[in-house]
Amino acid sequence: MFNYCLLLSFLGSNFHGWQIQPNLRTVQGVLEDALSLVFKEELRVIGCCRTDAGVHAKEYIANFKASRCLPLPNLLKALNSILPEDMGVKKVWLESLDFSSRYSVKGKLYIYRVFPSHIRDPFIEPFLWRIPYSLNVDAMSRASELFLGTHDFSAFAKLDEEEKNPFVDIEECSVEKKDGIIEIRIKAKRFLRYMVRRIAGCLIYLGMGKLNTDDVREFLSGRRCPYTAKAKGLTLERVFL
């Protein structure tokens, strides 16, 4: 048995997230269909995390086990010849059989991009949330520091049966403006469902002046955060092994 690992990249605009869902186009579903053509058998792919519908990934790690040994360059070429244009394989390698992309990765970096402008640029529009409001970047940056460390993020997430632990250790949370686009960077080993988008939404509404740091502290103390940033502005930027 061989444990293959893939470094993927995909545009989330036309996907209903990572996880297979009946009658919906998902990253996992499209990838497993492609692998079944290459290996001539049905294979189950494990992903490093779930992504919401519309969320993008520059780096995404997945693994699957198969009994056949295929040359890695041939596998990469075969997959990229089958996969649609909004998805691709950057790298293929082998790991030990106990490696799981879901549990073995050491961290994930998400970047949320928001563009406070009336200008519409179709070349960047699919990858950010454009809002017609000015944002106080300094206030957002100061507030982002409140998320650092270990907190109960129940108020920022939708917990399910698979994920019962609401405590997450945030290693990085920062806000920076680059060429007019505001980037919210959040790094941790694991995240809860909707957590990153709700942290981003919280900081964006704070930047609008509709929230203050006391509100953020109350959210971290258990008051429900009602603000969820649009999915298209979020990109899984990097996965750390």
pLDDT digits (tens, 9 = 90+) for 194-207: 999 999 999 999 99
Report the C-alpha gap between 239 and 237 in whole angstroms.
7
| Residues 205/209/213/214 CA torsion (nearest 10 deg) | -100
Q: What is the pLDDT of residue 161?
A: 55
- Residue 52 bears catalytic tag: yes
pLDDT of residue 163: 66
Catalytic residue among 33, 52, 138, 214: 52
Residue 176 pLDDT grade (very low, low, confident, very high; cuts 50, 70, 90): very high
Torsion of CA 104, 50, 229, 10, to 10 degrees: 90
Contact of 3 with 96, CB cutoff 8 Å: yes
pLDDT digits over 81-101, tens only? 999 999 999 999 999 999 999
The domains located in the chain, with CATH, are: 2-104 (3.30.70.580), 107-240 (3.30.70.660)
Positive/negative CA dihedral, 202, 109, 104, 171:
negative
Residue 140 pLDDT more than 90? yes
Q: Quote the pLDDT of residue 165.
A: 85
What are the counts of helices (DSSP H) followed by strands (DSSP E) for the chain? 6, 10
pTM: 0.94
User: How far apart (Å, rounded) are the C-alpha atoms in residues 232 and 11?
Assistant: 9
**Each residue's pLDDT tens digit, 216-235:** 999 999 999 999 999 999 99
pLDDT confidence of residue 115: 97
pLDDT at 160 over 90: no
